[in-house]
Amino acid sequence: MKRYEDLSPSLRCIMTPGPVEVDPRVLRAMSFPVLGQFDPEFTDIMNETMAMLRKLFVTENQWAYPVDGTSRSGIEALMVSLIAPGDRVLVPIFGRFGHLLHEIAERCGAEVFTIETAWGGIFDPEEVIAAIRNVQPDVVAIVHGETSTGRVQPLAEIGRACREADALLIVDAVATIGGVPVKTDAWMLDAVVGGTQKCLSIPSGMAPVTYNARAEAKLLKRKQVERGLRTEDTAHELPVVRSNYLDLGMLQDYWSPQRLNHHTEMTSMLYALREGLRLVLEEGLEARHARHALHERALVAGLTAMGLQLYGDPASKLTVVTCVLIPEGIDGEAVRTMLLQHFGIEIASSFGPLKGKIWRIGTMGYSCRENNVLRLLGALEAVLLRQGCKLPCGPGVQAALDVYEQNVR
Ligand SMILES: Cc1ncc(COP(=O)(O)O)c(C=O)c1O
């Protein structure tokens, strides 16, 4: 009989745009004993997690809870629940994940309108506002931080325009939550989804969402209690949500004091989320954003001192993802392989039109630390020299050290 060895995954330095290294406190929380899903001790944990999520999303919304599944499950839950078949949906696209929103909106049976801007940049908010006036959408869906291109789209003006046009604004803040400011209420975002495996330093597997009363009003028009639980038939103004698992109307009943049974909550993942949120709140949102910005500055200083070129418009650079053009004549995948095999460091490749052209380096959550940034810069220089790249010896790490020394921490 084949004998399977004990699992012993390598300890990596993960400098990708997710998943990133998990904070040891989160790993510890995941090993705690399982509680029953209706045990008052567990429902208290559910309530505390909701309260902490409201702080993370900077919102007074009643509804802030995780959808079980990777971030995509949270995106689909918001879209399938808030987009009724036949709705007019506007999707501004500036990278791969905008295309994902387009794809999901189509699958929801919407009439989808897209506007696109070249990868590497973002929209002037006025372009999106003009499209909103032109299309008159029921829903606008947009990415905040595009990990495929390392750009961040300002949302405040778009939020205001959606409110004026009475359109619901759904935002993918998967990459930005916990690393970059996301101001749900101040920017008038109606529904937001965050990711766990990026700036929150929790494993992949849950998708925190929040939505306001405007969004809830639409859900309630589609709401149905599940067969086997309902005692009477309900009439609905809009078609019932086509997914059972991702129906926010049902999920919110489960997360409400009513605790109307839906799925079996992911106990260990909820412990992980709660601990990850506790870490964020202990650090403080502003301090956390400042930490991410500091390590980005050191990384960028080091990369540019090495003579490497960054990809994309600097004005819209996303703090937590740095895209680097692969130098002429260098095999990007060979560099990534050497980094992993010899130094235990992972950086990311890229998608679609950028495949083979850029590397993407994440500075997110627990991975976003001085020793990781310095280790990556030193290793990258060594690997590039080994691969025959002509670059000066030494200035990368020195430039990053200068940033750290100048910064009073
Ligand atoms: C901006 C953005 N949106 C959505 C996703 C999808 O997340 P997941 O792979 O957790 O489903 C990702 C993942 O990398 C992302 O970067």
What local confidence, expressed as pLDDT, does residue 409 receive?
52
Residue minimizing CA distance to atom 7 of ligand 1: 71
pLDDT in tens, 333-355: 999 999 999 999 999 999 999 99
Question: In the structure, which protein residues have their CB atom closer than 6 angstroms to any atom of ligand 1?
Answer: 18, 70-72, 97, 143, 145, 147, 172, 174-175, 195, 204
Q: State which amino acid sits at residue 320.
A: V
- To the question of domain 285-406 being in CATH 3.90.1150.10, the answer is yes
Q: HEC string of the chain?
A: CCCCCCCCCCCCEECCCCCCCCCHHHHHHHCCCCCCCCCHHHHHHHHHHHHHHHHHCCCCCCEEEEEECCHHHHHHHHHHHHCCCCCEEEEEECCHHHHHHHHHHHHCCCEEEEEECCCCCCCCHHHHHHHHHHHCCCEEEEECEECCCCEECCCHHHHHHHHHCCCEEEEEECCCCCCCCCCCCCCCCCEEEECCCCCCCCCCCEEEEEECHHHHHHHHCCCCCCCCCCCCCCCCCCCCCCCCCCCHHHHHHHHCCCCCCCCCCCHHHHHHHHHHHHHHHHHCHHHHHHHHHHHHHHHHHHHHHCCCCECCCHHHECCCEEEEECCCCCCHHHHHHHHHHHHCEECECCCHHHCCCEEEEECCHHHCCHHHHHHHHHHHHHHHHHCCCCCCCCHHHHHHHHHHHHCCC
Q: Ligand 1 centroid vs 22 CA: distance in angstroms?
A: 17
Whole-number Å distance, alpha carbon 195 to ligand 1 midpoint, is 7
Ligand 1 centroid to residue 97 C-alpha, Å: 7
Q: Taking the C-alpha atoms of 152, 155, 157 and 158 in order, what is their torsion angle to the nearest 10 degrees? A: 110
How far apart CA 142 and CA 69 sit, in angstroms, is 20
**Spelled out in words, what is the top-level CATH class assigned to the domain 22-280?**
alpha beta
According to CATH, where is 3.90.1150.10 located in the chain? 285-406
Amino acid at 104: I
pLDDT averaged per 10 residues in sequence order, the chain, 409 residues: 93 98 98 97 98 98 98 98 98 98 98 98 98 98 98 98 98 98 98 98 98 97 88 85 96 95 95 98 98 98 98 98 97 98 98 95 98 98 96 95 87
Which of 14, 67, 73, 97 has most ligand 1 atoms within 8 Å of its beta carbon, as the pocket-test mutant?
97
pLDDT of res. 236: 84
Q: Which two tokens stand for residue 389?
A: 């790249």
Percent pLDDT > 90 in the chain is 94
Q: At what angle do helices 71-82 and 248-255 cross, to 10 degrees?
A: 110
| Cα of 38 from ligand 1 centre, angstroms | 31
Q: Where in the chain is the domain with CATH 3.40.640.10?
A: 22-280
- Centre of ligand 1 to C-alpha 72, Å, is 6
pTM over 0.75: yes
CA distance 121 to 125: 12
d(CA 174, ligand 1 centre) in Å: 6
From the alpha carbon of 195, which atom of ligand 1 is closest?
10
